[in-house]
Structure formats: structure tokens, C-alpha cells
Structure 1
């Protein structure tokens, strides 16, 4: 296979191939379509795919066991129409493809180089960070699936993403907010507010619990002291009897005074 320099299409999907993508494919510089989907391939996407297969229009690696980051070299695939990496175990952020930068930028990345991209499926991976603002500039993008990852923050605004209003595109990313999902973004878009947050109710509940505990502790504290300390118990009952006698005397005096007035 490595000597097939004129090979235009490599379709190996729906088999049980395993192992890593063979290094010998580097000589297949005329490839236009690569489909390794639905197999048992492992390892990382080799970065040389982006350098030797720059004319590729379809790259389909879905439903395998690939791991690691999405290589920055995929940004060189300027003619790419379909990129399907779903159902793998990719992690990290979506790479920055602006001006062929080589690093991964967590807070500000764009994929503007893939201007011909029509289908992007990254679902069911472990990708994280924010969704690149550059997605909104992909004017040919008609199919998008970012579901079941760990994306966070506000979904980028832009005409192209506004034309894809299906919230299932972003399903399984609970930290995303903004159109078209139901969670609104707060001022801090990196930490969207949990719509089920009930802080005031919890405060009231803890206040009532603390009041009840305080009453119970105080009541039984006094009672246990009277039970243990005999002298205190006698003093308490004497004081209680004095209060009772004084109250009875005051009531009797008031009653006698009232009767005389009649």
C-alpha cells in the first residue's frame, strides 16, 4: 500500500482492523478520501496526515479507539469537506488553525483555514474548553455535531451557527450556554449559572435547622444542669415558688381592689 502513490481513495470502514494507522501511508500523496471508520484502530492520529494528504476532502475516523489531542497539522487540509472524528476518546481542545499556528490555545482558537468544511462531527469524545469562534465563519458548514464532550462557556455567535438552530448539536455539554441551548449565559460566560440553583431556599432551610438545634441544646442544657446539681435544683424551685407566690399575691390584691370599687 505504501507504494501506491496514485491512490485517490482509501475506504476501509466497517471492518475489524486494529492497531495504529500504518506509517507507510505517508507515500500516498494523492489521497482525496480516507475512511477508516467503524474499526478498532488505536493510538493517536499521525500528524503527517496533514502534511502529505493536503488534498483530502473527506477524513472519516469515527467509531474507533483513537486517543490524544486532535493534531494541529489537520489545519493544513484546506480542501477538507468532511471531518468525522466521532465516537473516539479524543481529549483536549479543538486546535487553533489560524495562520498555521503550531500550538493549542485554550481561550482563543479559530479554525478559519478549513474554509471548505461542510461536515464536522466531533461527538462522543472528551474534548474540552470553549467552542472556537472560527466555526461561525465557515460559510459552507451545513452539518455540525459537538454533542457529548466537555465544552464550556458561551456558544459563539455568527450567521453560520445561527443557521444551525438544533440544540441537539450541543447535547451532553452541560456547561455550555447561549443560543440554541436552554441555558442563558450570565456575565461570567465561563461559568454559566446553574438553572436549578436554589441558594436562597438552602439558606432558609439551614437557618431553621440551626434555630431548632439551638433551642434543643439550650433546653436540655438547663434541664441536665438541674438534674445533676442538687443545690441548683433546690434554688431553682425556691425561686419558682417565690415567683408563684408573688404572682398569686398580686392577683389577690388586684381582685380585692377591683371588688371594693364595685
Structure 2
């Protein structure tokens, strides 16, 4: 029922569809919070509510009541707020490769690898978590990295703070990672170099610092736009080279230090002029 003009809230009666496996209401005008009754749909495999006007927090019961979310959890482009519940990392079916018996067909449009793609007979290959363009804040919970079979993680255009989790290298099958336009800080974790399947990365417009890793997969991620907007990042492919003193930028001198240097210079000049004047005064009087 995507791409319609549906409005109002999602009815509580949706929870009576206990064996519902796919719910796609993308690109409508739905508002209000996610109904609590939705947690009764424990067989849910794909939940796509992106591009609506939904509000409230991401409920923690998504991770507890919908362990079968095998393919898609997309709540992007809504008015959600709060933080990412650590329980989202409990989506157990995103932790393992789906068995062949579950490789059913479907038809869906999803945004992955930086562009919109259509999936028909290969929908079972999609494992996507998209919480982009909402108002989420706080840090990225390390528990998310337990979703080792996740293929796409998009948390861009939020207000996320703190560091990128050091355990991010646990995403063994990750192909697309978009953390752009947040307030993330610190260095790029070295473990990210182990994401050997990653072919689309966007870390732009954060507060990241330090040297960009240059091993493994990072050797192919050579587009400067991936890292732009992080003024304290350095190294290839950015034009800003890292300083040789352990990768740390030299501390800029303040105005007070410049004034001290200026005073010292005039002291030396004054001493030198005094010495010259005394020297000529002594020999002048002798003559």
C-alpha cells in the first residue's frame, strides 16, 4: 500500500494480523506513533514505514517482539525522535544467513548502495536497516553491530553523537554504510577496514578527526566526498595531509603567544642597540 495518499494513524487493529509477514506503507501521509498492537505481528519479516509523518520514539519492542525481521526495517524520513533502542540489535534473523527454504519472492523498492533499487525475485538477498532523516539523537548503540548479516545500514541525517562503535567491524556482510550529516566525533575505527564487502560508504559532515585508514577496503573508497565536511580528518583521498608528529595536528598559537614572541624580539633588538651605543660611546670618548 505504498505510494498512496493514506493519512491518519496506523490503526490498532493492525495487530490482529498476527501472521502478517510484509507491511509496506511507504510514502504516504500517515501520522501518530507506531501502534503498540503491532508487536503482536511476531512473524513480520519486512516492515517499511518510511516517508511518512510518524512521530514518537522507536519502540524497544521492535527488537523483542519481531525477531523474524529478516529483510527490512525502514522507518526513515519520519518525525521520530529519541535514541536507537539497543534491543534493535536483537533482530536475530539479521544475525545469520537466511536458509534457502526462506528465499521467497517479493517486489519492493529500497534505497541501498546510494541509489534506489528494485528487487523482485531476489528480495531475500536484502537485509536493510534504514533510520535516516529522522530526529534521532544520542549515540549509536554497540548492540547494533551484532547484526552481522546486515547488508545496508543508513543512519544519515540525524543528530547522533559520540564515536562510531569500535565493534563496527563485526558487520561481516555490510555493503552500504551511511552515517553522514550527524554529529559523530572521534576517529574512524580501525576495525572498519575489515568490512571487505563494503562498496558504498558515506561519513561526510560529521566531526570526525584523525587519519583515514588506508588498508584493505579503504584503498577502493577513494572518493573525497565520502569524508568531506570533517575538518579534522586527514590523509588520502583528502588533499589535507596528516602531520608527521603521530598524526596529530599542531596546536595553533594564540594571540598571547604571538605577543610574547613580539616582546622577545624587541628585547633582543634593544639589548643589541644598547651594546652598540655603549661601544661607540666608550671608544669615542677615548679618541
* TM-score, shorter chain, exceeding 0.5: yes
The alpha carbon displacement at 1:176 in A equals 2.9
Q: Which of residues 80, 87, 93 in structure 1 aligns to 2:139?
A: 93
Classify 1:202/1:93 alpha carbon distance in 2 versus 1 (closer, same or farther; 3 Å): same
Secondary structure of 2:167's aligned partner: coil
CA distance in 1, matches of 2:185, 2:68: 26
Q: TM-score, normalised by structure 1?
A: 0.60
Bigger Rg over Cα: 1
Secondary structure of 1:17's aligned partner: strand
**4+ aligned runs moved over 6 Å, structure 1:** 209-212
Report what 2:89 is aligned to.
75
Secondary structure of 2:168's aligned partner: coil
Counterpart contact for 1:90–1:125, Cα < 8 Å = no
Structure in which a larger fraction of residues adopt helix: 1
Secondary structure of 2:60's aligned partner: coil
Q: Which of residues 26, 32, 35 in structure 1 aligns to 2:48?
A: 35
* Unaligned segments of structure 1, at least 5 residues: 213-249, 255-262
Q: Which of residues 223, 236, 249 in structure 2 aligns to 1:193?
A: 249
Report what 2:181 is aligned to.
124
Counterpart contact for 2:166–2:191, Cα < 8 Å = yes
Secondary structure of 1:24's aligned partner: helix
Q: Which of residues 18, 35, 38 in structure 1 aligns to 2:31?
A: 18
Question: Are 1:181 and 2:238 an aligned pair?
Answer: yes
CA distance in 2, matches of 1:88, 1:170: 22
Q: TM-score, normalised by structure 2?
A: 0.56
Question: Are 1:159 and 2:219 an aligned pair?
Answer: no
Classify 1:203/1:56 alpha carbon distance in 2 versus 1 (closer, same or farther; 3 Å): same
The total of aligned residue pairs comes to 211
Counterpart contact for 1:93–1:128, Cα < 8 Å = no
Classify 1:30/1:63 alpha carbon distance in 2 versus 1 (closer, same or farther; 3 Å): same
* Unaligned segments of structure 2, at least 5 residues: 1-13, 97-125, 147-160, 267-283
Aligned residues: CA RMSD: 4.1
Counterpart contact for 1:146–1:170, Cα < 8 Å = yes
